[in-house]
């Protein structure tokens, strides 16, 4: 789709009369779709303004259903706007400068330890809990209850892990009675840089169906996010950047929850390094496993990074799976909200365009239809790879790093060290695991010595020697 900043104002006809019994909303939608739906529903729709990419519209509830059912493969196909001004403002929005993130793959050992822990049964458990609420439509009380219960589930996981650097909060919305819930893992070194993943916890049914268990759409995404958190807690992961996990309200009625949150982050000037959406992870409908959506509002850089991660970690071996690319169209899912505010956003999807779960938005969107979590497990793995490599484990401050300044070697589970410059002594030795957690600390007073590490498990560690002169020396070592 081409983008143009040229606004074509279309004058409102004063004589337009709307159906009396229909509720109207302001929204933005694909510009070409807007023209098409205007011909289908001339009295139910007004195009307020448009550019080459999107249109600001005033549409009836019937039109929103018509768009939802006919346009896109997944999402509502429009983005709710709370007023005419907000709809017009969305067309004029200038993309803010994106935070530059240095995408690198450096955490092999730790990532692979995490991938080994992903458990499909845990994903199934959460999907089954969510589908048991019945329809989680945003105006129903059980939708709010599902959010509050998910917060309790996350809180219990955090307190069981004994973590005080992780917390949850409820985000209350203006345009829906349903709240969203956000889990935050504080970044140890650069807490002002955010790496965010999310999915929507509401569900919807087509008008003919009054039940929408929403097992795949999107209990599967929420369950997949929860499994990522479980694994990171099990490995005591301390990130360098702040990680947030979000379960959004009211995605199905125009990305309402995610739009309000992304708008607040943009107004507050929050540096969101990257946003990745998990919406439908459990149905394998295409030849490949994960499909990266390449709509123009998605970040090409971030998409490339996700594909590099899969090339690196999932090309072969125990965690192998395949990927392809597809498109999902305007307002496809909550990542579009983040993209609207100029953030780098991506959306790995369960299948190619049109080959996704045929039962979504119906009573048949159940776990029984999905049958297993083999597909969702792959998304949990990609999500972990992304979180760990994008947020990075805690980086230890190194004031005077030089490999020449200190000799270390490990033999028979004993760390031997020798300071080359004997003008200063070592006064403290600290050892950290690959997750950045301190696993050893001892006061010393010498220039060389040895430390027994018999109780340590195999793997990479980082030694930090603090010297009398206040400098510190850091070196990585492997324990066999
Ligand atoms: Zn969805």
Residue 209, pLDDT score: 59
User: Which residue among 74, 319, 361, 375 is the active-site one?
Assistant: 361
Q: Ligand 1 centroid to 5 CA: how many Å? A: 30
Q: Catalytic pick from 193, 279, 334, 350? A: 279
Q: Compute, in angstroms, the gap from residue 348 CA to the centroid of ligand 1.
A: 12
pLDDT at 458: 85
From ligand 1's centre to the CA of 429, what distance in Å?
A: 50
Of 355, 346, 221, residue with least CA distance to 295: 346
Cα of 74 vs centre of ligand 1, distance in Å, is 6
Percentage of the chain exceeding pLDDT 90 = 61
How far is the centre of ligand 1, averaged over its atoms, from the C-alpha of 171 (Å)?
19
Question: Which residues neighbour 85 within 8 Å (Cβ) at sequence distance 6 or greater?
Answer: none
- Is 33 tagged catalytic? no
Query: In the chain, what are the domain boundaries?
Result: 8-92, 108-391, 406-479
- Which of 137-141, 218-222, 330-334 has the weakest average pLDDT? 330-334
Distance 45 CA to ligand 1 centre (A): 25
Asked if 361 is an active-site residue, the reply is: yes
Topology match between the domains 108-391 and 406-479: no
pLDDT band, very low/low/confident/very high, at 468 (cuts 50, 70, 90): confident
User: Is position 89 annotated as part of the catalytic site?
Assistant: no
- The pLDDT of residue 88 is 92
What is the whole-number distance in angstroms between the Cα of residue 252 and the centre of ligand 1? 7
Centre of ligand 1 from the C-alpha of residue 279, in Å: 5
Please give the pLDDT value at position 95.
63
The sign of the dihedral angle between the CA atoms of 380, 137, 332, 9 is negative
pLDDT tops 80 at residue 18: no
Mean pLDDT for all residues in the chain: 87
Quick: pLDDT tens for 316-325: 999 999 999 9
- Residue in 218, 251, 260, 389 annotated catalytic: 251
Using the predicted structure, report yes or no on whether residue 110 has a pLDDT greater than 80: yes
Q: How confident is the model at residue 16 (pLDDT cuts 50, 70, 90)?
A: very low
Class at the top of the CATH hierarchy for domain 108-391: alpha beta
pLDDT at 405 over 90: no
CB-CB neighbours of 333 under 10 Å = 30
What distance in angstroms lies between residue 80's CA and the mean position of ligand 1's atoms? 15
Q: How far is the CA of 278 from the centre of ligand 1 (A)?
A: 9
Q: State the pLDDT at residue 96.
A: 58
**Listed residue (232, 443, 258, 248) closest to 345, CA to CA:** 258
pLDDT at 166 over 90: yes
> What confidence tier does 404 reach under pLDDT thresholds 50, 70, 90?
low
pLDDT at 94: 60
pLDDT at 13: 32
Q: Average pLDDT of 37-43?
A: 89
**Nearest CA to 3 among 23, 22, 31, 29?**
31
pLDDT at residue number 9: 32
Ligand 1 mean position, distance from CA 393 (Å): 31
> Pairing between strand 8-9 and 24-30?
unpaired
Task: Examine the pLDDT at 211 and tell me if it is beyond 80.
Answer: yes
Kindly report the pTM of this predicted structure. 0.78
Residues 406-479, CATH architecture? Sandwich (2.60)
107, 193, 217, 218: the active-site residue: 217
Provide mean pLDDT across the span 264-270: 93
**pLDDT (tens digit, 9 = 90+) per residue, 406-423?**
778 888 888 988 887 666
Q: What is the pLDDT of residues 43-74, one digit of tens each?
A: 999 999 998 888 999 999 888 888 777 665 56
pLDDT at 12: 32
Catalytic residue among 138, 173, 200, 375: 200
**pLDDT tens for each residue of 348-381:** 999 998 899 999 989 999 999 999 999 999 999 9
- Confidence category of residue 112, pLDDT binned at 50, 70, 90: very high
State in Å: Cα 453 to ligand 1 middle: 49
217 part of the active site:
yes
């Amino acid at each position: 789709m081409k983008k143009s900043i040229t606004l074509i104002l279309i004058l409102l006809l004063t004589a337009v009369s709307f159906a009396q019994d229909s509720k109207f909303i302001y929204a933005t939608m694909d510009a070409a779709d807007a023209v098409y739906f205007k011909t289908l529903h001339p009295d139910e729709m007004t195009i307020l303004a448009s550019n080459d990419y999107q249109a600001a519209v005033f549409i009836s509830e019937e039109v929103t259903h018509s768009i939802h059912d006919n346009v896109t493969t997944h999402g509502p196909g429009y983005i709710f706007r709370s007023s005419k001004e907000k709809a017009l403002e969305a067309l004029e929005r200038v993309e803010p400068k994106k935070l530059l993130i240095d995408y690198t793959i450096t955490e092999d050992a730790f990532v692979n330890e995490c991938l080994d822990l992903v458990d499909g049964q845990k994903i199934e458990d959460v999907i089954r809990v969510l589908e048991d609420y019945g329809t989680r439509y945003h105006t129903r009380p059980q939708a709010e209850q599902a959010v509050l219960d998910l917060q309790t589930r996350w809180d219990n996981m955090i307190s069981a892990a004994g973590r005080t650097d992780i917390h949850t909060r409820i985000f209350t919305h203006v345009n829906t009675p349903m709240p969203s819930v956000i889990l935050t893992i504080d970044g140890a070194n650069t807490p002002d840089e955010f790496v965010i993943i999310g999915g929507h916890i509401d569900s919807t049914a087509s008008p003919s169906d009054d039940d929408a268990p929403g097992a795949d759409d999107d209990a599967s995404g929420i369950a997949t996010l929860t499994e990522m958190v479980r694994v990171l807690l099990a490995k005591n992961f301390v990130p360098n950047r702040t990680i947030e996990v979000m379960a959004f309200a009211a995605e199905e009625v125009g990305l309402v929850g995610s739009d309000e949150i992304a708008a607040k982050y943009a107004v507050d000037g929050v540096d969101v390094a990257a946003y990745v959406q998990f919406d439908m992870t459990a149905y394998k409908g295409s030849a490949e496993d994960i499909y990266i959506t390449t709509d123009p509002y998605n970040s090409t850089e971030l998409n490339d990074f996700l594909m590099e991660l899969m090339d690196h970690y999932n090309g072969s071996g125990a965690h192998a799976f395949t990927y392809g690319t597809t498109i999902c169209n305007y307002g496809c899912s909550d990542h579009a909200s983040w993209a609207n505010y100029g953030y780098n956003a991506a959306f790995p999807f369960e299948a190619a365009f049109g080959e996704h779960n045929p039962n979504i938005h119906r009573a048949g969107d159940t776990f029984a239809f999905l049958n297993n979590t083999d597909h969702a497990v792959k998304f949990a793995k990609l999500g972990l790879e992304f979180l760990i490599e994008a947020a990075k484990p805690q980086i230890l401050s190194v004031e005077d790093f030089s490999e020449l300044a200190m000799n270390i070697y490990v033999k028979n589970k004993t760390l031997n060290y020798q300071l080359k410059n004997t003008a200063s002594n070592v006064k403290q030795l600290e050892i950290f695991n690959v997750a950045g957690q301190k696993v050893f600390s001892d006061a010393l007073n010498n220039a060389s010595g040895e430390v027994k590490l018999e109780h340590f498990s195999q793997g990479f560690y980082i030694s930090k020697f603090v010297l009398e002169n206040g400098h510190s020396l850091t070196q990585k070592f492997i324990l066999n």
